[in-house]
């Protein structure tokens, strides 16, 4: 549904926008936060649900998550702003779970169910009935009927129907989850198994009821800027195209400076260094025979997938810093008194930044969707914004990290540039289900000698949960950005990030 301006998309953005407006200008934060559900659902007539009261109850939970706080208990009276004082600090990090199901918003969709639609013609052959191994299909008034108590969900009836009259119903969030982390509570509402979840956010963007949301630091970030703290932004290369096809990197940088950021750098410069490091790592470890294969490390959900489900291959994950962390560390070395915000497409980066080893480097993480709300709160329309500041920090190799296959391609380019006699075996996978298949093949020895790139989101980073536009369109914009880079690959002698 990304790229479509749906009511769910508008609801999410409105919540972030109202939170941003409060953070920027409120003199009475508690009262203004409590009022947001009434701004979102004004009057007495509901817009999305059967009741205005349910709409406001759901909006209240959205507000809490957008403030970085957890959902309220369903059986206790708790104000929306309960815990706000503890949350209103720059050092507020995400408390797990990052992604939560709002119970009052969940539609309790069918988990896995075959149903006969009105397309059934009541044919004489009735192949659906003939192939059913449990006699779950009978005929009522000449039409096929499935007894859900007998049905074993084998799908043979659906496959045999000549009219495509039998449909399989499955929760959209569960269908989108590549690690089977979506389960059910005692009321058949979706709930997330945090032991399996890798925080990719695909369930969130695929729920048509907007019942799944992640926590945000947008409030804390703006408050830090309001306190005149020096906040420097590092932006992921997937940002190109996210605010309009004619919105250049230079225009985005100028708009970020207009918002109050002290400076702006490309995360792709950290990707450049990462590509160089992993190129050397591949030659030194895999080509030499010390390791059977090498896994890239830049996608946190991919790394979590490997560590949770394939712990025996953890030592095959590259030990190079992710572009986010590498760039942030370089910024802090040059500006030790600053705070760093990573602006990107990814929900999982929020958890990566909360790790003890990363906390001192990355202070805030927000998505493109959340940044959009900040621009709206400050009445900045990038389509008509007329300022531009050049942003030419990185090479095409680092910028290409944003699309599936781009990481492996960047590393391959570096290997060919630095090692004339080395052949590279490349494999890459996108989406968690494909990543699992790839890791299983690697585990069984079928990927020996390979450099393996994994991206949890379809299409790569451009398909992340925090993006604004269609995946294919986003990929096209990034490829143009790569092509127009002044330099294709980083110089061999460069061993650390050089900030302009």
Across 73-82, 187-196, 469-478, least confident range? 73-82
Q: Is the pLDDT of residue 65 over 60?
A: yes
Q: Find tokens 């391609």 and name the residue.
A: 409
DSSP class of residue 377 equals H
HSE on the CB side for 85, CA within 13 Å? 2
Q: pTM score, two decimals?
A: 0.92
Asked if residue 174 lies in contact with residue 204, where contact means CB atoms within 8 angstroms, the answer is no
pLDDT of 91 = 66
Across 158-162, 226-230, 284-288, 451-455, least confident range? 226-230
Q: Is the pLDDT of residue 461 over 90?
A: yes
Q: Which two tokens stand for residue 263?
A: 């400076």
- Return the domain boundaries, the chain: 112-170, 230-483
Q: Is the pLDDT of residue 89 over 70?
A: no
Q: What is the mean pLDDT of residues 13-28?
A: 95
pLDDT of 138 = 96
Return d(Cα 264, Cα 254) in angstroms, integer.
9
- 3-state SS of the chain: helix, strand, coil percent to 5? 40, 15, 45
Please state the φ and ψ torsions of residue 258, each to the nearest 5 degrees: -65, -35
Reported as a pLDDT band with limits 50, 70 and 90, residue 87 is confident
Reported as a pLDDT band with limits 50, 70 and 90, residue 420 is confident
CATH topology of domain 112-170: Alpha-Beta Plaits (3.30.70)
Asked if residue 241 lies in contact with residue 271, where contact means CB atoms within 8 angstroms, the answer is no
Reported as a pLDDT band with limits 50, 70 and 90, residue 323 is very high
Q: Is the pLDDT of residue 493 over 80?
A: no
pLDDT of 95 = 72
Residues 6+ apart with CB under 8 A from 50: none
Fold: same for 112-170 and 230-483: no
H-state helical runs in 48-95 = 52-66, 84-87
pLDDT tens column, 293-314: 999 999 999 999 999 999 999 9
**CATH (one of 3.30.450, 3.40.1130, 1.10.3470, 3.40.50) for 230-483:** 3.40.50
Higher pLDDT, 196 or 96: 196
pLDDT of 495 = 54
Of the chain, the percentage scoring pLDDT greater than 90 comes to: 81
Q: What is the mean pLDDT of residues 255-274?
A: 94
H-state helical runs in 124-247 = 127-131, 156-160, 172-176, 202-206, 218-226
C-alpha dist (Å) from residue 397 to 314, 436, 461: 26, 26, 15
Across 67-71, 152-156, 455-459, 490-494, least confident range? 490-494
Q: Which two tokens stand for residue 322?
A: 């992710």
Please state the φ and ψ torsions of residue 170, each to the nearest 5 degrees: -145, 145
Q: Is the pLDDT of residue 494 over 70?
A: no
Q: Is the pLDDT of residue 373 over 80?
A: yes
Q: What is the mean pLDDT of residues 93-117?
A: 90
- Strands, DSSP E only, in 102-242? 112-116, 137-140, 143-146, 166-170, 182-184, 190-192, 212-214, 231-235
Q: Which two tokens stand for residue 394?
A: 């990185």
H-state helical runs in 2-113 = 7-25, 29-40, 52-66, 84-87
Return d(Cα 77, Cα 58) in angstroms, integer.
15
Return d(Cα 231, Cα 214) in angstroms, integer.
23
């Amino acid at each position: 549904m990304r790229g479509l301006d749906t009511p769910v998309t508008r609801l999410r953005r409105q919540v972030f926008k109202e939170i941003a407006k409060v953070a920027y200008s409120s003199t009475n934060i508690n009262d203004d936060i409590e009022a947001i559900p009434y701004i979102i659902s004004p009057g007495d007539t509901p817009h999305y649900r059967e009741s205005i009261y349910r709409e406001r109850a759901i909006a209240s939970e959205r507000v809490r998550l957008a403030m970085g706080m957890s959902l309220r208990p369903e059986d206790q009276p708790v104000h929306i702003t309960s815990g706000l004082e503890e949350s209103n600090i720059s050092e507020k990090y995400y408390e797990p779970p990052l992604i939560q199901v709002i119970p009052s918003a969940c539609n309790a969709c069918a988990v896995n169910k075959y149903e006969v639609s009105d397309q059934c013609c009541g044919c004489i052959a009735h192949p659906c009935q003939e192939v059913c191994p449990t006699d779950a299909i009978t005929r009522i008034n000449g039409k096929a009927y499935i007894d859900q108590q007998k049905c074993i969900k084998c799908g043979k009836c659906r496959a045999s129907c000549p009219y495509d009259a039998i449909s399989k119903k499955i929760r959209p969030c569960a269908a989108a989850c590549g690690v089977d982390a979506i389960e059910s509570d005692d009321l058949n509402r979706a709930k997330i198994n945090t032991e399996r979840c890798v925080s990719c956010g695909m369930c969130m963007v695929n729920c048509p009821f907007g019942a799944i949301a992640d926590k945000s630091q947008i409030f804390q970030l703006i408050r830090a800027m309001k306190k005149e703290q020096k906040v420097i932004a590092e932006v992921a290369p997937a940002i190109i195209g996210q605010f309009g096809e004619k919105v250049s990197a230079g225009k985005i940088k100028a708009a970020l400076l207009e918002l109050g950021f002290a400076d702006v750098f490309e995360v792709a410069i950290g990707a450049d260094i990462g590509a160089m490091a992993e190129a050397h790592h591949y030659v030194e470890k895999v080509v030499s025979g010390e390791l059977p294969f090498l896994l890239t490390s830049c996608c946190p959900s991919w790394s979590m997938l490997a560590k949770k489900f394939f712990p025996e291959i953890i030592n095959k994950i590259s030990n190079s810093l992710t572009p986010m962390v590498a760039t942030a560390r370089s910024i802090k070395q040059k500006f030790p008194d600053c705070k760093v915000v990573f602006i990107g497409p990814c929900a999982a980066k929020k958890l990566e930044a909360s790790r003890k080893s990363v906390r001192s480097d990355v202070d805030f993480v927000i998505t493109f969707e959340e940044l959009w709300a900040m621009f709206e709160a400050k009445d900045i329309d990038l389509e008509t914004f007329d300022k531009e500041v050049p942003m030419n920090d990185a090479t095409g190799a680092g910028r290409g990290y944003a699309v599936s296959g781009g990481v492996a391609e960047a590393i391959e380019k570096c290997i060919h540039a630095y090692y004339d006699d080395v052949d590279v075996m490349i494999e890459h996978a996108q989406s968690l289900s494909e990543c699992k298949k790839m890791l299983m093949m690697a585990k069984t020895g079928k990927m020996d000698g390979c450099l393996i790139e994994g991206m949890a989101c379809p299409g790569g980073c451009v398909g992340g949960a925090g993006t604004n536009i269609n995946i294919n369109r986003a990929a096209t914009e990034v490829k143009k950005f790569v092509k127009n880079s002044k330099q294709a690959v980083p110089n061999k002698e460069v061993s650390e990030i050089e900030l302009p």
